[in-house]
Amino acid sequence: IDRVWGADYVGDTKTLDVHVKRLRSKVEPDPSQPRHLITVRGLGYKFEQ
């Protein structure tokens, strides 16, 4: 979040989670079992085709 919005960002830390959930609902056949938008623990996310 610091890289995108800066260290002074005071918004909700769940903002990114909400956006990822919305993206998954659009690109995944089953958003509860993502195959394309993958969480990489400790790093972020990656997109796989």
User: Residues 40, 47: contact at Cβ < 8 Å?
Assistant: no
Q: What is the pLDDT of residue 40?
A: 96
CATH code given to domain 11-47: 1.10.10.10
- Mean pLDDT, each 10-residue run in order, the chain (49 residues): 79 85 97 96 92
Residues in the chain: 49
Count CA atoms closer than 13 A to 5's CA, side-chain side: 9
Q: What is the pLDDT of residue 8?
A: 84
The pTM for the full model equals 0.73
* DSSP tag of 38: E
Domain ranges of the chain: 11-47
Distance CA 16, CA 31 (A): 16
CA 15 to the chain's CA centroid:
9
